[in-house]
């Protein structure tokens, strides 16, 4: 057979990349993506899950935004995952819901005056996505079960897809600058001193699975709040992108919340079996191969406090500007009953003034971040209440709590003070002397890392975690979620 008749092999990007943005007809965008995609795959292979790139993982791939396209399950090798560009369906006649442009039709192109602000929003959001994949890249090696391993990888590929979502916006709407930013998203590295990721919490380590569950519950929940606020945007493509991302983010919340709940469930069960009533009898509890509740409380304190820093300064002109411009709204903006312009409103913000905490009425526009942080704290509390139900059901006397808003903060109103978990002001030496009671100690972290070991027999779970109530895609208990 003559080879001259064979067509030149071309990657069919519209086939390779599930999309509902008519990728085929946008040549400029296709060219940009064709240049970016191989670099993305290189990044994934270098910084994605270590050691499992050739495993068959039972993953969900979104190939459409409707109910039929949403949940396509099947075995996939991660580098071959079909990362798509999917936007929630366009709402005809949608108008801007807040800020000074309230009531005007939403923008389908970037308004020139807001170009820099929007680009910044997309870059900051985009940077967190690959960062968390990098943070979690070694966790596959100590997965407590194939079910958990699969969930980790699902979270990872979806964070990858979220990067794609932001890169799509950058490449489609921000020209050359956008393309350069898209490249840089692949250049920065979590925890790297020379080229760190933009936000602090995304340079922390995720060395063990409790950290992973805490991270997905608390830090991905910040992602949820940010996406929800961006989903309100007057820039319609950003809004539609974020609305679809939120559906995936919900799974990450689930992995975190249920992961910690299953950890607590197993701890309580083992304590009851061993007849241990005192949750602070750390040594005896750890000897059972489970994680004591005070350690879970300290991990909660840590993850929640570093995540609160991600909301930025409570009182912020930047946040006021992006709200006023109609670029980033409040959490569930359309459900709030006010004028959505906030020019004459105030919002009560906890501040530190003259050596004490005061609730201060601040112009509502400047307090956008403070309000989002309050919404976040409320959202966290729902999950914590459900954890406490697990503890209560087992008859153990322990209550997991959120630390004071000012506890362990590096950014915002309380960056320069030291405060106990219940909000008592302390000086530096007192803080240094007491912080081990509230934040995970080196010994805690060593214990956690020591406890982690890989369980890869289908249907079996590590000693420290209970099995889930239902399988993924309704699979039965011994389903082989990952073929290593």
Partner 1 sequence: MPNLVRQHLIDPEICIRCETCAEMCQQDAISYDGVNVVVDFSVCTYSMDCIAPCPTGAIDNWIMVEKPHSIEDQFRWEELPSGSGGEKGSNEIEEALEGEVSDMLKAAHAGAGGETRRPGTSSQPCVNLYSRSAPVVAQVQGNYRITDPNAESDVRHIILDLGTNALPVLEGQSLGVVPPGKDDRGRKHHMRLYSLCSPRDGERPNHNNIAFTVKRVEEQRNGAVFKGIASNYMCDLGKGDQVELTGPYGSTFLMPDNPEANIIMVCTGTGSAPFRAMTERRRRTMPLAPGKLLLFFGARTPGELPYFGPLMKLPDRLIQRELVFSREPGKPKEYVQDRIRACAHPVVTLLASDLTYVYVCGLKGMEQGVEQSLADVCSGNGLDWARLRDTMRGEGRLHIETY
Binding site for partner 1 (CB under 8 A): 66-68, 70-71, 73-75, 224, 246-247, 250-251, 253-254, 257-258, 382-383, 389, 469-476, 478-479
Q: What angle do CA 81, 83, 89 make, to 5 degrees?
A: 140
Alpha carbon distance 415, 421 (integer Å)? 15
Distance of closest approach, residue 75 Cβ to partner 1, in angstroms: 8
Structure tokens given for 105: 């039709």
Minimum CB separation of residue 263 from partner 1 in Å reads 16
Choice between 62 and 451, CB closer to partner 1: 62
Cβ nearer to partner 1, comparing 63 with 362:
63
Nearer to partner 1, 274 or 472 (CB): 472
Q: Smallest distance from the beta carbon of 17 to partner 1, in angstroms?
A: 15
Q: How far is the CB of 55 from partner 1 (least distance, A)?
A: 14
Strand partners, 360: 349
Which structure tokens are listed for 314? 């409570």
Residue closer to partner 1 by CB (options 372, 448) is 372
In contact, 474 and 481? CB cutoff 8 Å: no
In total, the chain counts a number of residues equal to 484
Of 95 and 250, the one with the shorter C-beta distance to partner 1 is 250
Smallest gap from residue 483 Cβ to partner 1 (A): 9
Q: How far is the CB of 64 from partner 1 (least distance, A)?
A: 9
Minimum CB distance to partner 1, residue 25 (Å): 18
User: Which of 119, 243 has the CB closer to partner 1?
Assistant: 243
- Our CB check for partner 1 shows the closer of 63 and 426 to be 63
């Amino acid at each position: 057979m003559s080879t001259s008749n064979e067509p030149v092999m071309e990657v069919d990007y519209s086939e390779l990349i599930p999309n509902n943005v008519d990728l085929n007809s946008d040549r400029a965008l296709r060219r940009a993506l064709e240049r970016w995609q191989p670099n993305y795959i290189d990044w994934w292979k270098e910084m994605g899950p270590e050691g499992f790139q050739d495993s068959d993982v039972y993953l969900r791939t979104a190939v459409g935004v409707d109910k039929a396209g949403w949940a396509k399950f099947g075995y996939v090798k991660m580098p071959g995952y079909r990362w798509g560009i999917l936007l929630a369906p366009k709402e005809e006649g949608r108008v801007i819901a807040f800020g000074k442009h309230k009531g005007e039709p939403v923008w389908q192109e970037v308004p020139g005056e807001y170009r820099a602000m929007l680009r910044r929003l997309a870059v900051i959001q985009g940077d967190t996505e690959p960062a968390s994949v990098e943070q979690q890249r070694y966790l596959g090696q100590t997965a407590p079960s194939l079910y958990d391993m699969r969930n980790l990888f699902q979270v990872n590929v979806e964070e990858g897809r979220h990067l794609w979502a932001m890169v799509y916006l950058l490449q489609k709407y921000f020209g050359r600058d956008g393309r350069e930013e898209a490249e840089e998203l692949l250049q920065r590295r979590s925890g790297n001193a020379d080229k760190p990721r933009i936000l602090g919490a995304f340079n922390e380590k995720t060395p063990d699975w409790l950290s992973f569950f805490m991270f997905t519950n608390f830090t991905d929940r910040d992602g949820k709040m940010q996406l929800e606020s961006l989903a309100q945007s007057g820039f319609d493509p950003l809004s539609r992108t974020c609305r679809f991302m939120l559906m995936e983010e919900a799974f990450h919340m689930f992995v975190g919340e249920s992961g910690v709940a299953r950890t607590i469930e197993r701890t309580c069960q083992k304590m009851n079996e061993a007849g241990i009533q005192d949750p602070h009898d750390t040594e005896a509890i750890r000897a059972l191969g489970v994680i004591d509740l005070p350690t879970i409380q300290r991990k909660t304190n840590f993850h929640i406090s570093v995540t609160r820093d991600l909301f930025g300064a409570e009182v912020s002109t930047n946040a006021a500007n992006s709200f006023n411009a109609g670029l980033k709204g409040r959490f569930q903006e359309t459900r709030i009953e006010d004028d959505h312009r906030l020019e004459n409103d105030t919002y009560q913000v906890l501040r530190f003034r003259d050596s004490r905490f005061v609730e201060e009425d601040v112009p509502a526009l400047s307090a956008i971040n403070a309000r989002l942080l309050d919404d976040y704290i409320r959202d966290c509390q729902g999950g914590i209440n459900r954890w406490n139900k697990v503890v209560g059901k087992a008859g153990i006397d322990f209550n997991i709590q959120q630390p004071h808003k000012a506890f362990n903060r590096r950014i915002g109103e309380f960056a320069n003070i030291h405060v106990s978990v219940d909000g008592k002001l302390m000086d530096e030496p007192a803080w240094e002397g007491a912080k081990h009671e509230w934040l995970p100690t080196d010994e805690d972290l060593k214990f956690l890392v020591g406890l982690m070991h890989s369980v890869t027999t289908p249907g079996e779970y590590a000693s420290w975690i209970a099995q889930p109530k239902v399988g993924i895609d309704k699979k039965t208990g011994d389903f082989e979620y990952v073929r290593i």
